[in-house]
């Protein structure tokens, strides 16, 4: 038996005919596969334990039916507590490897105590041709003056569905940088909802994707400003190849009481095929004056000028496109540890270099 869900729902719905209000997905209710994470890297002043069923943080942003599905099905439940006043610049890495026909539902609670600093990376990967299903909820609570980099790398099989949900609540002067990299999967969903409740709290949300074959990428980012002088920055960057398609929603929501708040949302999409489909939904909601919200998008194909320059030096158009693709991959590998950068290398060789461009 499966569950039908409306994932990545817009905070305020628009016309149904645009087909952007949500992404309808169907997830299996069969029992999860037995998958244990490989946890490496820095665990100094970080406590990791299994979450009891009753041990819950408030959940924000996500559709209630999505939350109920994850809570009911999650077999992997971890709480990660970063101790007060501790500084961890080296990454804590949680690496999940799935096999063909595996199903995994995960719940991660990340508690950043006051004045703590952390760098946490979660990676999910599988063989290129693998079928499977991955869904998660990552709940972050950042106390006053806490800082963290949270990175999620998704390299599921080409016949899989992957659904990564992140919610965050930030207290006074807390700062979180969230980076989602949904490269794998036939259907790849990613979402972040950040509640900026504290004074001068701030969030940076980055998404990097490369759509290939008939991949369907669906993104939803919401920054809710409650605290005065809070700031948000949402940046989505991607390349679409072959017959891939992408829908991106970016919402900045100014609530009453957030005077002096500012939010920015931007998107950069490079279209490398005339068969791709791209939808962008920027949204600014405002119930407060003395705030600043900006959004913008740059969507297009390769410019003729750099193409002409490369062709004049004996590089044909196909090779030129490969250069742009490899440049994006190189940038992503540079922000990851060597073992995860190697996974992107393998994915590139098996998928992008063989089937695309």
pLDDT in tens, 100-117: 999 999 999 999 999 999
Structural domain boundaries enclosing 94:
2-302
DSSP helix/strand/coil, 53: coil
Q: What is the pLDDT of residue 301?
A: 86
Asked if 278 and 271 count as a contact pair (C-beta separation under 8 A), the reply is yes
In a domain, 207, yes or no: yes
In a domain, 49, yes or no: yes
Domain count, the chain: 1
Q: Which two tokens stand for residue 262?
A: 């500012």
In a domain, 339, yes or no: no
CA distance linking residue 321 with residue 318, whole number of Å: 5
In a domain, 158, yes or no: yes
Q: What is the pLDDT of residue 62?
A: 62
- Beta-carbon count within 10 A of 349 CB: 11
Cα-Cα-Cα-Cα torsion 156, 349, 277, 299, nearest 10 degrees, comes to 110
CA distance linking residue 97 with residue 126, whole number of Å: 6
Q: What is the pLDDT of residue 147?
A: 98
Q: What is the pLDDT of residue 319?
A: 80
CA distance linking residue 355 with residue 243, whole number of Å: 11
End-to-end CA distance of the chain: 39
In a domain, 133, yes or no: yes
Q: What is the pLDDT of residue 213?
A: 94
**Which segments of the chain have a pLDDT < 70?**
53-56, 58-59, 61-62, 353-357
Q: What is the pLDDT of residue 354?
A: 56
CA distance linking residue 277 with residue 59, whole number of Å: 32
CB contact set of 72 (below 8 Å; sequence gap of 6+): none
- At 137, give phi and psi (nearest 5°): -140, 120
In a domain, 310, yes or no: no
* pTM for this predicted structure: 0.95
In a domain, 349, yes or no: no
Q: Is 59 left (phi over 0), alpha (psi -120 to 50) or beta?
A: beta
- At 211, give phi and psi (nearest 5°): -80, 135
In a domain, 228, yes or no: yes
């Amino acid at each position: 038996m499966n569950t039908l869900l409306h994932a990545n729902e817009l905070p305020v719905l628009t016309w149904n005919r645009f087909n952007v209000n949500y992404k309808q997905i169907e997830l299996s209710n069969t029992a999860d596969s037995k998958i244990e994470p490989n946890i490496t890297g820095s665990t100094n002043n970080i406590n990791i334990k299994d979450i009891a069923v009753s041990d819950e943080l408030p959940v924000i942003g996500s559709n209630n039916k999505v939350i109920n599905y994850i809570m009911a099905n999650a077999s992997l439940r971890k709480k990660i507590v970063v101790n007060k006043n501790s500084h961890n610049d080296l990454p804590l890495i949680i690496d999940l490897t799935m096999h063909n026909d595996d199903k995994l539902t995960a719940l991660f609670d990340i508690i950043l105590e006051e004045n703590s600093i952390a760098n946490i990376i979660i990676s999910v990967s599988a063989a290129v041709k693998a079928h499977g299903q991955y869904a998660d909820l990552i709940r972050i609570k950042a106390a006053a003056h806490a800082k963290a980099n949270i990175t999620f790398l998704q390299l599921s099989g080409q016949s899989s569905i992957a659904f990564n949900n992140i919610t965050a609540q930030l207290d006074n002067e807390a700062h979180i940088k969230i980076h989602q990299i949904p490269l794998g999967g036939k259907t790849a969903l990613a979402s972040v909802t950040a509640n900026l409740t504290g004074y001068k709290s701030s969030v940076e949300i980055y998404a990097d994707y490369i759509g290939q074959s008939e991949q369907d990428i669906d993104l939803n980012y919401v920054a809710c400003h409650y605290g005065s002088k809070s700031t948000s920055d949402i940046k989505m960057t991607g390349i679409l190849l072959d017959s891939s398609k992408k829908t991106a929603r970016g919402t900045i929501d100014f609530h009453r009481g957030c005077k002096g708040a500012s939010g920015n949302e931007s998107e950069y999409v490079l279209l490398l095929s005339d068969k791709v489909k791209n939808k962008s939904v920027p949204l600014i909601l405002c119930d407060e004056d003395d705030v600043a919200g900006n959004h913008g998008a740059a969507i297009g194909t390769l410019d003729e000028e750099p193409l002409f320059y490369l062709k004049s030096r004996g590089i044909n158009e196909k090779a030129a496109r490969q250069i742009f693709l490899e440049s994006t991959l190189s940038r992503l590998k540079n922000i990851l540890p060597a073992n995860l950068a190697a996974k992107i290398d393998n994915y590139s060789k098996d998928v992008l270099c063989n089937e695309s461009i």
